[in-house]
Amino acid sequence: MPLNPPTVLSRKLPGKFTLAVSAAMLAALSLPAMAATQQEVLEQKVDALAKQLEALQAELKALKAERAEAAAAPAAAAPAATAAADPSAQPTRQDARAAAEHKEAFLSGYGEVNFSRYDHDASRTEATVRRAVFGIGYRFNDSTSFVSEFETENTVVSAEDGGEFEVEQFYIDHRFNDYLSTKVGLILIPIGYLNTAHEPTRYFGVERNNVETRIIPSTEREGGISLYGRTPFGLSYDVGLTTSFNLSNWDYASPEGAYSPLGSIHGELANSRASDLAQYVSLNYDGITGVNFGGSVFTGEVGQNQNVGVTASPRFTLWETHARYTQGPLQLQTLYAHGGFSDTAALNLANAGALTPIPKAYFGWLVQGAYRVWRAGDYALTPFLRYERFNTGSDYAGQPPGFGAVDRPTETAYTYGTSFFITPNLVLKADYQQYRRAKEDNRFNLGVGLQFY
């Protein structure tokens, strides 16, 4: 990469500047010496000059290193003494192509078309473009880029139709160094596996798993700032300060809060109330090849000064821990998530007898195994089995006597099926889901999912 002249010029400036400073220093040093002998003055001057020379040498060295680094960047500028005669040092077609692919704006996308046939109610059988998502990114410079994702769910968004249009991600990413980057804007919360890796080629089953849909309300995103990075020994971290949920949106009469407590009140940065903020910490360890484990905590106050009728400050907390083991064609995965709201007794009492009080605790966990039984080139067939236990309201505060316990029973779900990969980024899926309690949800699913970038 050629150094452009203005850069070289500006890099010379500090040198001149330091010279000026040294002259001033020299003058300052000389002042007390005026009374002393001429020799002392000279010695001091020589000392100061020597120091200055050292500083300049150091600066020159740093500049040289910087230039060498810049020259090394396009891969083959000066590998050795042979460099001059080395044609591989010249720009190649590969470099040209690479440069063309190193573009400023980039496009990505993913989506899935799903079909579900319910065992016990044929009237619920449906087919839909579950998601069609397009991402647009822009690179401002080597360390700063913009990332966005726009999503439609179920195709048509209108007054009569049930579809949704969402801005799923919209943030600026800036890299400080290898260990520290930041994101600012509408960001995904790094909780569990699916929330940040939600492309259909990245998970098993036509529909996303229950635990990471209902306990962790994927795709959970908030507005805020994230600091993230990784250490050389395999630990990566992500900490953030974001907008929080708004408990005044809780609908005691709607079953939605019983389906996904947090999912029913998330703000998605659509004029989100933002006087109470949330924080998260997420850690992952990948230092042992084939093994990943980690966990995260996401918590924040949810009152949002909306005068929800309590003096206390209700707070949500969601934490999870996860592990994945891959060895050859085998992949095993587990995840446990636990959530809850504090200080909800008064609110629940005020809404005694309502269909959906606010849960003090809810949880879910899953284990999943997958094994790629066949592969030819990019084609691969990977059956999987998933077992889930989850409860969207295992404990409630503020239950008035005489109303009986409202704690929900724990649901068990089995999902078994297969993914047939045409390429790693294009998958056909088929599975069967069986619920121990909500048998009406037992169903057969078919799907096609894709991802490009």
Partner 1 sequence: MSVSSRIVLLPLVALVASAPARATVYLSIEDAQQAMFGAAAMTAQPLTLDAIQMKAIEKASGVPVRGSLVRVWRAADGGWFLVDAVIGKSELITYAIGLDADGRVKQVEVLEYRESHGGEIRYPGWRKQFVNKKAGDELRVGDDIQGISGATLSCEHVTDGIRRLLATWALVLKPLA
Among residues 27, 288, 350, 422, which is the contact residue for partner 1, using CB under 8 A?
288
DSSP 126-187: EEEEEEEEEEEEEEEETTEEEEEEEEEESS--SSSS--EEEEEEEEEEEEEETTEEEEEEEE
In the complex with partner 1, the residue whose CB is nearer, 50 or 75, is: 75
What is the size of the binding site for partner 1 (CB under 8 A)?
72
- Under 8 Å between Cβ of 345 and 331: no
In the complex with partner 1, the residue whose CB is nearer, 34 or 80, is: 80
Among residues 23, 327, 379, 400, which is the contact residue for partner 1, using CB under 8 A?
327
Q: Which 83-142 positions form the footprint of partner 1 (CB under 8 A)?
A: 83, 85-89, 92-95, 97-98, 101-102, 106, 108, 137, 142
* Token pair recorded at residue 195: 């929330």
Q: Which 235-254 positions form the footprint of partner 1 (CB under 8 A)?
A: 236
Among residues 39, 158, 289, 311, which is the contact residue for partner 1, using CB under 8 A?
289
Contact status: 372 vs partner 1 (CB under 8 A): yes
In the complex with partner 1, the residue whose CB is nearer, 74 or 398, is: 74
In the complex with partner 1, the residue whose CB is nearer, 86 or 119, is: 86
- Find tokens 């260990």 and name the residue: 179
State the virtual CA torsion across 67, 68, 74, 77 in degrees, nearest 10. Answer: 120
Candidate segments 26-34, 112-120, 282-290, 360-368, binder of partner 1 by CB under 8 A: 282-290
| Residue 382 exposed, middle or buried by CB count within 10 Å (0-12, 13-18, 19+) | buried
| Radius of gyration of the chain measured on its C-alpha atoms | 30
Smallest distance, Å, CB 271 to partner 1? 29
In the complex with partner 1, the residue whose CB is nearer, 320 or 343, is: 320
Smallest distance, Å, CB 211 to partner 1? 17
Task: Tell me, residue by residue from 38 to 77, as one string, x for binding to partner 1 by CB under 8 A and - for no binding.
Answer: ----------------------------x-xxx-xx-xx-
- Under 8 Å between Cβ of 450 and 427: yes
Q: Cis before residue 144, ω within 30 degrees of 0?
A: no
Cα–chain-centroid distance for residue 162? 28
Residue 54 CA: distances (Å) to CA of 11, 16, 19, 63, 219: 18, 15, 12, 14, 57
Q: Which 400-429 positions form the footprint of partner 1 (CB under 8 A)?
A: 424
- Under 8 Å between Cβ of 428 and 202: no
In terms of Cα–Cα distance, which of 210, 112, 121, 129 is closest to 163? 129
Contact status: 326 vs partner 1 (CB under 8 A): yes
- Under 8 Å between Cβ of 424 and 80: no
In the complex with partner 1, the residue whose CB is nearer, 216 or 308, is: 216
Smallest distance, Å, CB 180 to partner 1? 7
Smallest distance, Å, CB 167 to partner 1? 20
Smallest distance, Å, CB 171 to partner 1? 11
Q: Which 328-347 positions form the footprint of partner 1 (CB under 8 A)?
A: 328-329, 331
